Structure 1
């Protein structure tokens, strides 16, 4: 193949992560990146290496391969056969991942908390899979981009080592908040050229608020409170008291919902992952009121429709918060990690965080009433912050193109140069972005 014909070949793009596995936030990040690829790189063939390939193919229309060879990867292995299967799977996955990476020019890890351990996590699970991806990318010259990812300090040494080397081997890194970048810097990754942008889910379209007489939308009763729940057992360092943390979270949240119902307030329970269903069931049974209903959601778009129809939101999962904030609905966070606090502060609602590990229903009610008292003011604040987030994410996607689609970036640069020849201006912004992207590719 000649150099000219090689340059005309479309860039082969892979998407990687725990996608299609039941976590709506992960799938929302995938959807945001797919939207960008289809708009800006429509000729690029795209496929995925992911946790739920059937779901990804059915929902998003792209070919997908299972992330792990061993299907019981995320089940606890107690018998000898299961332990042997997991061990063999690690070796097979190294070969499978390398072969998959080699078929691509670019692999994108779309958002997600891939560089953190704020929930229970074993080093030989996803951290090992991410390391295989990034190491294979460096070996075969495939550009691996960690786009808008979350990171946090990690206490477990093997997990921290795998995460640190994954980040170092990636060709491009950006983060969804400043503390994620700071966490990687403290773990020994050079982050001076890495940038921070809003979570990728802020790039998704915002659904219009349903009209009160809309027959098919979520209930739009004035005063409805959406309460987003989570099967929360603490973080990676809380395993010894996981059940105590869960019981305290469930009891406090249930008391809060019951107090709202006693005031005649309709409550709509939301989830963000398939594993949250038992928490919904427990609250429905404990409260036992027709005022409490459970939403059936299959995407972040569904979540946004629910939050747009609500008067206010109290939520635990990070992307429940994102959906509520994106619809400019006054929101209170049951915060289980620093990322939730950072998100709320970025959107102007820092005062409305409550610790998920120690839910105090009385104090939560007091915070909630203050939130509702300032509802009109907070909606204006959120509308302004959402506009700023959309502009920054446009910059994120432009930088991503310059960093990992070099042929496209060069074509764009040539077009800009031709234009400025006639207009007698200089494209400083694009030039600096391209230089920055080139520097990222050269920095391990």
Structure 2
């Protein structure tokens, strides 16, 4: 069997559990369906990726301070030089592969603050290199959204156009790319890649009365920079009041995160509430987050992949939604009535929705179990079809056809 050289690309190993979970799902699929593939990564945290997933990895950016604000002349010069060096480094890395996969992640959106010459530029270099050098670049199960910044929008649009294959985690993403001028006629939509990860057994470690609250170091999106401080204060104050109310009722609360930066919000809530009923989880993967969610009666969460984990675990969930992708996910799983805006947290209204969620808990668990089976089945079929398109079968064992 011919050896296939596969690269994975993205802000992987950088502390975001959702990004790493998408990578884990893709690696698991490749190991099951293309065991002969030799895989390595160009990523944000190469040491973490190699240690955790056992694949060789190279640092995404030559300049190590790429995502720090540059105020001194030396740092500005370093960043500028890094853009030129990265163009050469990226092309050399792409040349060594038959296929490069960008696994999930919101790489075509700016729902969080984003500079065009950071990751959007890196993604453009990848897709342009693939087109020039004849290496297939596949954006698999990625997220997209309307982008206000013209430079960022241009880089994202050209990245998508230059990719050999695209698929999205929801129809909103495909619609957003179509609105940006990308021909999406042949692009697929399938559930988020994290649904390919195994769910914990129903009720595993269940703690009656426990509420998991997934928090986020939330300051709004790319277009909210002028009011980022105000948005963050409202979000933190509203979430803290919600946690305090639960504690006053004697409810245990478990704080969840999805990125290293969220620790600041956890510390602020622990300091403000100061109760032994409030504890913080130290999950280092989506699998561990699913176990935390499975142990709870209910989950209230902000980060997109906190929501995915809770829904995958089959736990009734309320979304503190900061983007349309969260609303779309909740609707897909039958919980569209349980969304609350993260930018305008109204604690009284949030508590009303939470009470309603608990009131219908048994019914919602049945709904999530049914939707979960349908979602994972659809994702399996779509991934099989995508794999067949990326790696044309050379023998009957790999002749995979998508089920209609």
Task: State the TM-score, normalizing by the size of structure 2.
Answer: 0.98
- Please state whether the residue corresponding to 2:102 is helix, strand or coil: strand
Match of 1:217 in 2: none
Aligned residue pair count: 404
Q: Distance in 1 between matches of 2:207 and 2:378?
A: 34
- Please state whether the residue corresponding to 1:354 is helix, strand or coil: strand
Match of 2:208 in 1: 222
| Distance verdict in 2 for CA 1:379–1:44, change over 3 Å | same
CA-based RMSD: 1.4
Match of 1:336 in 2: 322
Match of 1:144 in 2: 137
Contact 2:312 2:372 in 1 (8 A): yes
1:85-96 paired onto structure 2 within 5 Å: 85-96=78-89
Task: Report deviation, 1:14.
Answer: 0.1
1:50-65 paired onto structure 2 within 5 Å: 50-65=43-58
Corresponding residue to 2:395 among 397, 404, 411? 411
Contact 1:111 1:148 in 2 (8 A): yes
Q: Distance in 2 between matches of 1:412 and 1:23?
A: 38
Corresponding residue to 2:350 among 342, 364, 369? 364
Task: Report deviation, 1:75.
Answer: 0.2
| Distance verdict in 2 for CA 1:209–1:295, change over 3 Å | farther
- Write out per-residue CA displacement over residues 35-70 of structure 1, whole angstroms, 9 at most, x where no aligned residue: 011111111100000000000000000000000000
1:340-351 paired onto structure 2 within 5 Å: 340-351=326-337
Match of 2:104 in 1: 111
Task: Report deviation, 1:404.
Answer: 1.1
Task: State the TM-score, normalizing by the size of structure 1.
Answer: 0.89
- Please state whether the residue corresponding to 1:173 is helix, strand or coil: strand
Task: Report deviation, 1:398.
Answer: 1.3
Is 1:172 the counterpart of 2:156 in the alignment? no
Q: Distance in 2 between matches of 1:74 and 1:80?
A: 16
Task: Report deviation, 1:399.
Answer: 1.5
| Distance verdict in 2 for CA 1:101–1:291, change over 3 Å | same
**Segments of 4+ moved more than 3 angstroms:** 209-212, 412-416
Corresponding residue to 1:197 among 176, 181, 190? 190
Contact 1:209 1:309 in 2 (8 A): no
Task: Report deviation, 1:288.
Answer: 0.8
Structure 2 residue ranges without an equivalent (≥5): none
Contact 2:91 2:125 in 1 (8 A): yes
User: If you compute each CA radius of gyration, which structure gives the higher value, 1 or 2?
Assistant: 1
Task: Report deviation, 1:208.
Answer: 2.2
Is 1:325 the counterpart of 2:311 in the alignment? yes
Task: Report deviation, 1:156.
Answer: 0.4
Corresponding residue to 1:129 among 115, 122, 132? 122
Contact 1:14 1:106 in 2 (8 A): yes
Contact 1:98 1:132 in 2 (8 A): yes
Q: Distance in 1 between matches of 2:378 and 2:286?
A: 20
Q: Distance in 1 between matches of 2:398 and 2:353?
A: 54
Structure 1 residue ranges without an equivalent (≥5): 1-7, 213-219, 417-428, 434-444
Match of 1:183 in 2: 176
- Please state whether the residue corresponding to 1:371 is helix, strand or coil: helix
